[in-house]
Structure 1
């Protein structure tokens, strides 16, 4: 017996029909031009290019650490820094973190692929994707 799309729909309460969740074109793009990718991540998350570059170097690949990502929307207690990125950037950081902990969790447990960020570029499209089908495919 294996898990079906109906099981995913019932258990996770997420859409199994809709736009295809595919990041292969973005994954190919980020391999070709690392500096352009860093600029895109900087724009979508509302952080400086230098911060993204440092994080990508620390995480050793085209990934970011979950703790770094969390710091994009959750300031440190007692921090005097009161500058926050725009609300849409904060939402993207949170959603990327959430997806990496739930339907796209991997064995590393502490890194997030920035290829998923491409799916979060237009926040209005989030409800149109077949996240349940993606979760099942990723599980297999």
Structure 2
């Protein structure tokens, strides 16, 4: 027996009638899925395709490192970089980091699955997820 959404609703008094949190995972590590993941990171986090490709290659999978993700919204003190990324890209990187540390933590503790980024594609819909 498993916990249902109805159980969650009754026990925690959480409204569970909105959108379900579900993403199509990049099921297989193929050249096509790798390319799609890199494009998604580049588009939604506001980095160049080359930077996204380098990060995905460093993390060795369809993931990005949490330390790289954190650097997208929390520059090091004393950093000479005075340019700030677009507000939505910064918000996505921060929310993705929070999701990866809380609800969708993996056993590595240092990587974030790129598939979770699809949940944050439209920031107006984020509050509608159950």
TM range (shorter): 0.7 to 0.9
Contact 1:18 1:128 in 2 (8 A): yes
Query: CA offsets, 1:42-90, max 9 Å, x none?
Result: 1100111111111111110010000000000001111101111100000
TM-score, reference length from structure 2:
0.85
**TM alignment of 1:1-140, pairs within 5 A:** 4-6=7-9, 9=12, 15-24=15-24, 27-28=26-27, 31=30, 32-130=32-130
With normalisation by structure 1, the TM-score equals: 0.79
- 1:61/1:8 Cα in 2 relative to 1: closer, same or farther (>3 Å)? farther
The 2-side partners of 1:85 and 1:30 are apart by 29
Compared with structure 1, are the counterparts of its residues 67 and 15 closer, same or farther at alpha carbon in structure 2 (3 Å cutoff)?
A: farther
Mapped to 1, the partners of 2:8 and 2:60 lie a distance apart of: 35
CA contact (8 A) 1:30 1:37 kept: no
For structure 1, which runs of at least 5 residues remain unmatched after alignment? 131-140
Q: Alignment RMSD, CA only?
A: 2.3
List structure 1 runs of 4+ shifted beyond 4 angstroms.
28-31
What secondary structure is seen at the aligned counterpart in 1 of 2:69?
Answer: helix
* Greater helix proportion: 1
Q: Structure 2 regions of 5+ residues with no counterpart?
A: none
Larger RCO: Structure 1 or Structure 2 (Cα < 8 Å, ≥ 6 residues apart)?
Answer: 1
- 2:19 is paired with a residue of what secondary structure? coil
